[in-house]
Structure 1
Amino acid sequence: MVGHLILRLTIWFLLTADLSWPNILIGLSISLLLPRGYTNPEALKDWLLVLGKILWAIPQAYIEAFDLILRPHNEEDIILEQVEKKRSHRLVFLDILLITFTPKTIVVKYDEEGGWYEVHRVIRRKKQT
């Protein structure tokens, strides 16, 4: 219950970017009123790994944004990334959010049966001489 509340409040604060008392109360109210899903509990290890990825995604997004500004990327491609086995829907959502958060990549499709993310990315190819 506490984990769900923290996750929902974190998403609320990321969406609103406002830490005023009224916004905290609104976010807390919405977090408590939203229905809870009853799925398999995720391992704490998986959540800690995702938390580490979230903390790294913020500086990575800035690095990629400056890289795109300073050195234009002139090519694009689509790659397939495999989803970890037995991934809960919440962790899949966070994976997709993290991939899409960085400027060079976006998830185009999630194949639940095959266990793949289809990721569109922009790349910089070196000119061949």
Structure 2
Amino acid sequence: MVGNLILRLTIWFLLTSDLSIENIIIGVIVALILPRGYPSREVLKDWLTVLGKIMLAIPQAYIEAFEIIIRPHQHEDVILEKIPANRSPRLIFLDIFLITFTPKTIVYKYRQDGWYEVHRVLPRRVEE
């Protein structure tokens, strides 16, 4: 319950970029009135892996943004990324958030058969 509240508040603060008292109160209210999902059994190892990826994604996002500024990316493609087995909806959300957080990639479709369709921009055309 507390972890769920912290996750919702973190997302709220990332979306609003406002740490005023009024926004904190609104965020807590929104986090408390949002419906609860079905409880799932997430493994601590999976959460630690995702948290590690989050810590690496922040500097990676800055690096990618500077790369795009310095050397514009003219090409794009779509790849399929496999969803790890037995992923809870919360961890799937965080996976999608992480992929979309970096400037060069965005998940544009979550497929029920266990794949993300990821659009990415590239500095040069990838030959297949």
Q: Deviations over 1:60-108 (max 9, x none)?
A: 1111011001012121111111000011111111111111111111112
Q: Which residue of 2 aligns with 1:120?
A: 119
- Distance in structure 1 (CA, Å) of the matches to 2:41 and 2:23: 29
- Distance in structure 1 (CA, Å) of the matches to 2:111 and 2:34: 27
Note the C-alpha offset of 1:34: 1.5
Residue type matched to 2:119 in 1? H
Note the C-alpha offset of 1:125: 2.4
- Distance in structure 2 (CA, Å) of the matches to 1:80 and 1:38: 27
What SS class does the counterpart of residue 80 from structure 1 fall into?
strand
Q: Identity of aligned pairs, percent?
A: 70
How many residue pairs match? The answer is 125
Instruction: Please list every run of 5 or more consecutive structure 2 residues that lacks an aligned counterpart in the other structure.
Output: none
- Distance in structure 1 (CA, Å) of the matches to 2:44 and 2:31: 21
- Distance in structure 1 (CA, Å) of the matches to 2:28 and 2:66: 35
- Distance in structure 1 (CA, Å) of the matches to 2:117 and 2:68: 22
Q: Which residue of 1 aligns with 2:30?
A: 30
Worse overlay, 12-21 or 29-38: 29-38
Over the aligned positions, Cα root-mean-square deviation in angstroms equals 1.3
Q: Which residue of 2 aligns with 1:93?
A: 93
What SS class does the counterpart of residue 84 from structure 1 fall into?
coil
Instruction: Please list every run of 5 or more consecutive structure 1 residues that lacks an aligned counterpart in the other structure.
Output: none
* 2:43 is the counterpart of 1:43: yes
- Distance in structure 2 (CA, Å) of the matches to 1:92 and 1:38: 14
